[in-house]
Amino acid sequence: MAVKMDPIHQFELKPLVSFGHIGNQEIAFTQSALYMFAAVGIIALITIVATAQRSVVPGRMQSVAEMFYEFIGSTLRQSAGHGSERFMPLIFSLFMFVLVLNMFGMIPYAFAVTSHIIVTFALALLVITTVIVYGFMAHGTKFLKVFVPSGVPGWLMPMIVAIEIVSFVSRPISLAVRLFANVLAGHIALKIFAGFVPALLAAGAWGAISPLPLALSVAVTALEFLVAGLQAYVFATLASIYLSDALHPGH
Amino acid sequence: MSGNDAGDGNGDGRQKPDEDLSARLKHLEKQIEEKLPAAPSRPSPGAGASNGASSLGLAMRLSTEFIAGVLAGGILGWLCDQFLGTKPWGLIVLLMLGFATGVYNVMRVSGSLSRPAAKSAADKNQDRERS
């Protein structure tokens, strides 16, 4: 008796409410959208409701909210430097959104929204659009200095400028691919290792070594929790590093 | 919490010093904030990676930075071919450029680029002095 293993099945989108079709594409409220709304709800609960009291000595929930705020605030200040406070709402929202979605993905049977590249790419495009729009708004054409690093010999300049332009284009891609790939790969690995356990148990005498993949999947679960937090942190850090280019171009 | 519950009648009288304190705290915070960016003016992404979490984050960055460079080059090359009609050449040239970008990105993230840049700047200065 073979146990069917389908590690990709968990990433399927299931339409909950359909709004009809545009061309061949169904426009629907999927479970992915539902998770996103739930994430926004949880974040609102942590940040708005918990801090509503504004007590000087914070309660439990308020200190959680303050902890997140201070953490992101210091990260932003370190990576983007002076004048970066105006991006605090953006970075804080991004971090909390990605973190909560990643953590939702770790709940058994839950759906990992950030395992879809279109979601992460939309977030990355939001960051890069902010960088470009703010950069041109604040510095005008001086923003193009981002592509011209200082201290490069003249004959190398055309090459470096071309590389810098491709590098700029690669930024949203790297932001999106990193988050999506880590979450996707983690969930597939988890599913496969966990799938070994029933497969080995079903294979008669091989069942004796089934505790090995079980232990491994426990370890991978712990690793995935680490990755879930870390990727949210990396996303926020990189977004603030890119924003620092918009704040201080031409270093 | 218990301090707040003590009595509403005293609330106004007690609020004042608290407000004063928070104003002073805010003032101090502002002063610190103004002084803080002066020290690490622009920390390179790799420099602050002393604790475990951020060095692990750095390790995860390195691989995708390279892939993203090649991907970006490929996408730009393909778009160039599509819209400018330079059929094979845009993809060939920009893919190679993307490869170079990937290496450049990895070097920049790992922080090994800061020294050569400083060195080349120093060389430039020397050249200027010589000529």
pLDDT digits 0-9 by tens, B112-126: 665 444 444 444 444
pLDDT in tens, A162-195: 888 888 889 999 999 989 999 999 999 988 888 8
pLDDT of residue B127: 44
Shortest CA gap A98–chain B (Å): 15
Q: Please give the angle made by the CA atoms of A100, A122 and B72, to the nearest 5 degrees.
A: 120
Touching check for A82 and chain B: CB below 8 Å?
yes
Nearest chain A residue to B5 by CA: give it: A55
Residues A246, A239: Cα–Cα separation, whole Å? 11
Selected residue of A166, A169, A182 to mutate for chain B interface (largest B Cβ count, 10 A): A166
pLDDT score of A204 more than 90:
no
pLDDT score of A20 more than 50:
yes
The four Cα atoms B109, B115, B121, B126 give a dihedral, to 10 degrees, of: -170
- Nearest partner of A152 among B123, B96, B108, B94, judged by Cα: B123
Cβ <8 Å between B43 and A78? yes
pLDDT score of B108 more than 80:
yes
Residues A167, B109: Cα–Cα separation, whole Å? 12
Out of A152-156, B45-49, B76-80, which region has the weakest mean confidence (pLDDT)?
Answer: B45-49
Mean pLDDT of A114-121: 91
Q: How does residue A21 score in pLDDT terms, banded at 50, 70 and 90?
A: confident
Cβ <8 Å between A56 and B18? yes
Selected residue of A174, A177, A184, A247 to mutate for chain B interface (largest B Cβ count, 10 A): A174
User: What does pLDDT average to over chain B?
Assistant: 68
Greater pLDDT, B18 or B96: B96
pLDDT of residue B18: 61
Contacts of B67 in chain A (CB under 8 A): 174, 177
Mean pLDDT of A75-90: 84
Nearest chain A residue to B70 by CA: give it: A170
Shortest CA gap B104–chain A (Å): 8
pLDDT score of B78 more than 70:
yes
Q: How does residue B53 score in pLDDT terms, banded at 50, 70 and 90?
A: low
Touching check for B20 and chain A: CB below 8 Å?
no
Residue boundaries of the structural domains of chain B:
8-40, 51-131
Shortest CA gap B70–chain A (Å): 8
- Cα separations (Å) of A157 from A84, A161, A238? 30, 6, 26
Nearest chain B residue to A156 by CA: give it: B120
Instruction: Give the Cβ contact number of residue B51 at 10 Å.
Output: 8
- Nearest partner of B98 among B79, B121, B120, B117, judged by Cα: B79
pLDDT of residue B38: 52
**Interface predicted TM-score (ipTM) over 0.85:** no
Residues A224, A108: Cα–Cα separation, whole Å? 12
Instruction: Give the Cβ contact number of residue B95 at 10 Å.
Output: 18
Out of A139-143, A189-193, A226-230, which region has the weakest mean confidence (pLDDT)?
Answer: A139-143
pLDDT of residue B52: 58
Q: Note whether B106 and B77 are within 8 A (CB).
A: no
